[in-house]
Amino acid sequence: MQLFLDTTDTAVLRDLVSTGLVDGVTTNPTLIAKSGRPMLEVIAEICALTEGPVSAEVAAVDAKTMVAEGTKLAAVAPNVVVKVPLTREGLVATGEFARQGIQTNVTLCFSAAQALMAAKAGATFVSPFIGRLDDHGADGMELIHEIRAIYDNYGFDTEILAASVRNPAHVTAAALAGADCATIPPSVFLDLFKHPLTDKGLEQFLSDWAKTGQSIL
């Protein structure tokens, strides 16, 4: 499963990309606002840090303006993926982007029916928000299972990008459910490396090695 970082913090991104385990980046208007920097400048800097897909979201609500904004965003770098909302207008714009060969990430997906429509429109990625569904008493992970079944039934190429991921357990469950990728905050990415028994075992190994008085180098 591909792992994307959901961030506009280029310092953090630069550090985590060095692990070789970051496959791409997603952004949204909220993250851009928090950065306090011009959007196109931030997107260009992120695209220079990773060769993977970088989602940049339009701000318009009508298809015509979405296409105009998305075309401008796509011109920033070849790895930009235009992010559009899962609305009727958003899917009209998605169809136009597909005809132009521009990759898209259809976001704010909360039902399998919506995901079906996104795939029919030619979306590159669809982003079901599992955490927000859980917050409202629904089963976000069940949505991933449903979308996977539908896409497999009909051979859709649209990739399932699990979003609104809150913890490592979400990442594991999304992978088991067949998500193609997950976008996660840097804090969750770092937690994926951790386990208390790993720390305990390493501490014991290092202690035992020190007692030998040896050096490998």
What are the residue numbers of the active site?
Answer: 83
Task: Copy the structure tokens of residue 186.
Answer: 């840097």
HSE at residue 32, side-chain half, CA atoms within 13 A, is 18
- Is residue 101 packed enough to be buried (19+ CB in 10 Å), middle (13-18) or exposed (0-12)? exposed
What 152-156 contacts at long range (C-beta under 8 Å, 24+ apart), as own/partner pairs, is: 152/178, 154/119, 156/119, 156/120
The packing angle between helices 140-154 and 112-121, to 10°, is 40
CB 105 within 8 A of CB 127: yes
The β-bridge partners of 161 are 181
**Residues whose CB is less than 8 angstroms from the CB of residue 74 and which lie 6 or more positions away in sequence, other chains included:** 80, 82, 97, 102, 103
Rounded Cα distance, 198 and 94, in Å: 45
Rounded Cα distance, 109 and 90, in Å: 12
Place of tokens 């990442």: 171
